[in-house]
Chains A and B, each alone.
Chain A
């Protein structure tokens, strides 16, 4: 079974802090994604990566950056956390074929 893990289930940070969310997949997938999920807005794509060191902006990249130094790991970075970044963050991975995306358990981030 594909396994996608995220470093934390719950995280509380203060405004202005630099925040790292880590995601690891064990299926040698080329593609990795970061989404955020908010009530009434659904899931929205922040960034995705289709290869090591390659990244593309999604629909809402402002205030975020990403890093992919190894194929299995994709990090989401909040350079200076703000309260409007309080959300559920979901990581996903997929192969370059058509076998669908697999999601991690999510990180509930609260910025106070």
Chain B
């Protein structure tokens, strides 16, 4: 059974810092990996999706990488801002029929002004 782990569980940084969020998964047979942002009490907003054949994706100040063979992904946030404060969730979709996502427990990020 696929398990997804995110480290750290919480992170507090001063504004302007570059930071890295980590995600690991136990079964490398994945279809894709998706990073989401969740603000308190709200739904999930998709940030980046990496297909299994890709190594990385970029959107603005965000860059996500994928090393499928080692079961790892990182989300890099450049020049962090207070508006980046949220919970970041990593999720993987397996490639053997089940279409649903398996989620990590998230990293709660606080960017101090």
Contacts and interface: CB of A to CB of B under 8 A. Distances in A.
Contacts of B100: 33, 45, 48, 58
Q: Which of A92, A98, A106 has the most CB of B within 10 A?
A: A98
A100 B99 contact: no
A101 B43 contact: no
B103 interface: yes
Contacts of B105: 40, 42
B94 to A, nearest CB: 12
A92 B101 CA distance: 10
Given A33-B100, A50-B99, A98 B31 contact: yes
A100 B34 CA distance: 7
Interface of A: 31, 33, 40, 42-43, 45, 48, 50, 58, 88, 90, 92, 94, 98-106, 108
- The 10 A-B pairs at the shortest CB distance, nearest first, are namely A103-B44, A100-B49, A105-B43, A43-B103, A106-B43, A45-B100, A42-B105, A103-B43, A100-B34, A31-B99
